[in-house]
Structure 1
Amino acid sequence: MEFSLILKKINNTLSAEKELIFNDWYSQSETHRQYFKGVLEQFENNRITVDNKKGWERIDQEIRKKNSTKSYWKYAVAAAIVIAVFSLPFTFKNTPSDLPPTTTLEQQATIEIGSDKATLTLEDGSSVVLQKGEHYEAGHIKSNGEQLLYDSTKTTPNVDIAYNILTIPRGGQFFISLSDGTNVWLNSDSKLRYPVAFAENQTRMVELVYGEAYFEVSPSTKHNGSHFTVTTLNQEIDVIGTEFNIKAYKEDPIISTTLVEGKVVVKSSQTFKKLIPGQQSKLDSKTNSIEISKVDVSNEVSWKNGFFSFKNKQLEEIILVLSRWYDVDFKVQNTEAVKIPFNGVFNKKQEIENILKIIENTNEVKFEIKGKTILVE
């Protein structure tokens, strides 16, 4: 789904043909409907003219009225959302000279935008590099370089289960359709271990070794009532048939599970919790305790749809996300600046320099690029 169609829908400028395309996409799943709702809310809450020069003048006037860090962030954030959302599908009327001056950001063409790529480790221990533009096929599996598909008709006797591993590097992402029809989107720096074919009449079990993944699980009704289970280091999720997101990075002591649709039970060695759609569980890996809260689902799963959606996120969390997608390292020299909360929506297919400049325009932090290391000053 092209993001420009969503914007045209919001502005009521879709042609009859495009309206049919949008309606088909919108009706496909609750995930699509929630995503559209999130974009609509961002748009309505931060509506500023696309004329960048006038928009910045308005923001500057508001800042002068309330000269505080809090109000500065409020209006700088609004500007960030406008620039991030409109910079790709539309062309601004103004020239670069109309933009407000920014701090110096060293330009170097060494940082690449993340792309579809992964390493597939087969049951015999051999490895295959998968990347966009390259095809791979071997018996029950095939890939076009953007997704990996397993034969959905294949099952295996209980004693003959073989496992594959899909590893996504920093700067990568990948989609996989398992043999039972379950779809999985894997974010940067993630690893999934799964059966080549699931055993008949047994729990379908996969392991998210680390990283972040969005699961669209084939329901148990299609598999003789067989449940689907996802394990991580300290957590197990019992699934009946649903869509959910798991974030379990190696460096993060918290494992977050966000339920989009259906039913899941989150288990640790200490307790278990049931989730309903719109809720998120947070498992503390040190204490094995689980806390449940209501969250903005579209914000939590935006990465799957091609966007960074930061809602009241501290800068230190934002640069961690950026480091994985652009495969860069951030070196923090200003420890106070990285604690400041930030709101913004950014397309993942833009240069990191664009995002850093928008953040710099708050005048709260500066960035300097040195190769693949970015200094936070």
Structure 2
Amino acid sequence: MKDELDYLIQRVCNSKKKKKFDEEAGWKKVQARNFHKKKKRHSVILLWSGCAACALIILGCILFVNNLSEPQFPTPLAHNESQHPTLPAKVELTLANGKSIDLEDINDLLEEELGISITRDSIHNQLTYRNNEEHQDSIEIRYNRLVVPRGADFSFELPDGTFIVLNSESVLRFPVQFAADNRTVYLEGEAYFEVTKNENSPFKVITGERKVTVLGTKFNISSYSDDPNWSTTLVEGKVSVSDNGKLHVLHPSEQYIVDNQTGKAEVQQVDATLHTSWLNGKLYFKDTRLEDITRKLERWYDFTFIYQEEDVKDFKFRGVIDKDRSLKETLSLLEGTKVIRFEIKDHTITILKK
């Protein structure tokens, strides 16, 4: 197994030699052949690359990690075992009447003033939110606010059956009850949606000036304001994205991506599994800038990264990080590339060149 893996990695990663193969295809073959056997030891590549005189220089090493699996269309946390043994205590739900709910201790809640009930599935750590029938004709649309902090993710089900997983450092505003002819929520951060189909009531996700509209589908939205890009990635079904007066329709494995600095937007073909891998506790990177990687690590581990030298931010890596591993293990993987090292003081991590 190891000999075969080393051979495949050499084919994919040896960029200094004249290529007689498609590197992208080679990378997919490595994933397909070496990540499909569960509960066995697998390898992960973390490669650093930089650009000089139009030539790509790749340095790296092969590091071995337990229990890594092939990226696959996600089975959301509520349908399987939750990544966290208990609900994150810091997740905050503020109801439309101003009442704050402790999601760690709640089992069943009936809020008569709003006409809602909230039930916790203790096995899967999923919350189910429901409206009571006698309040369906309320004339005022009022919003609840769910805040997921750094170091947590959270899953719950809306009254229409729509399933949502919120990633770290995300906020979702959703109505006490949906209007009869439309279902609208507001997102800051990142979330995965499995929308229950209702042809008479489209589901809308609004993030700033952009709006994603669906009838029934599976998709991911990443709308962090400090990320270089805004994106929505379609897993299944069809969605439309309204952006600056223009409408873009996406099909499965397509992504609408916008540069947050320039505003330039495009639709591109992607491997949707890579953009939803966080649901299964994995962070996959493909020639990704170190600054973009550490930004995700900051949200998950609740640490702050600083750089001794600015050019280190542009070092590029390829590989996979298991979110269930400790921060120390994750940093060791990155240090194993022999190009950077870390100094930790309190909740701040300084990145230095080796």
- Structure 2 length normalisation: TM-score? 0.73
Return the alpha-carbon distance in structure 1 between the equivalents of residues 30 and 106 of structure 2: 40
Return the alpha-carbon distance in structure 2 between the equivalents of residues 308 and 349 of structure 1: 11
* Aligned residue number for residue 294 of structure 2: 319
* Aligned residue number for residue 106 of structure 2: 135
* Aligned residue number for residue 24 of structure 2: none
Return the alpha-carbon distance in structure 1 between the equivalents of residues 56 and 256 of structure 2: 32
Of 65, 69, 73, which residue of structure 2 is paired with 1:83?
Answer: 65
1:17-36 paired onto structure 2 within 5 Å: none
Return the alpha-carbon distance in structure 2 between the equivalents of residues 267 and 287 of structure 1: 18
Deviations 1:63-98 (A, max 9, x none): xxxxx983433xx2xx24x425459xxxxxxxxxxx
AA at the equivalent of 2:100: S
Does the 8 A contact of 1:165 with 1:194 survive in 2? yes
Deviations 1:95-140 (A, max 9, x none): xxxxxxxxxxxxxxxxxx9974210001111212323xx3342221
Deviations 1:144-195 (A, max 9, x none): 5732211277572261333211100111110010111000000000000001
- Structure 1 length normalisation: TM-score? 0.69
AA at the equivalent of 2:94: T
Does the 8 A contact of 1:248 with 1:256 survive in 2? yes
Does the 8 A contact of 1:115 with 1:171 survive in 2? no
Structure number having the greater helix percentage = 1
Identity %: 36
Does the 8 A contact of 2:227 with 2:292 survive in 1? no
Of 265, 278, 302, which residue of structure 1 is paired with 2:240?
Answer: 265
Deviations 1:230-286 (A, max 9, x none): 101120011121000000112235321000000100001231111111011113456
Matched, 1:44 2:36: no
Does the 8 A contact of 1:170 with 1:325 survive in 2? yes
* Aligned residue number for residue 373 of structure 1: 348
Distance 1:143 1:46, change over 3 A: closer
RMSD: 3.1
> Displacement, 1:44?
2.4
* Aligned residue number for residue 7 of structure 2: none
AA at the equivalent of 1:183: F
Does the 8 A contact of 1:333 with 1:375 survive in 2? yes
AA at the equivalent of 1:44: R
Return the alpha-carbon distance in structure 2 between the equivalents of residues 233 and 358 of structure 1: 36
AA at the equivalent of 1:147: Q
> SS state of the match for residue 213, structure 1?
strand
> Displacement, 1:306?
1.3
Of 289, 300, 304, which residue of structure 1 is paired with 2:275?
Answer: 300
Of 119, 122, 127, which residue of structure 2 is paired with 1:148?
Answer: 127
Q: Mind listing any 5+ residue stretches in structure 2 that lack a counterpart?
A: 1-26, 47-54, 70-83, 111-116
Distance 1:334 1:257, change over 3 A: same
Does the 8 A contact of 2:289 with 2:317 survive in 1? yes
AA at the equivalent of 2:145: I
> Displacement, 1:297?
0.9
Select between 317-326 and 343-352 the one with higher mean Cα deviation: 343-352
Return the alpha-carbon distance in structure 2 between the equivalents of residues 376 and 298 of structure 1: 30
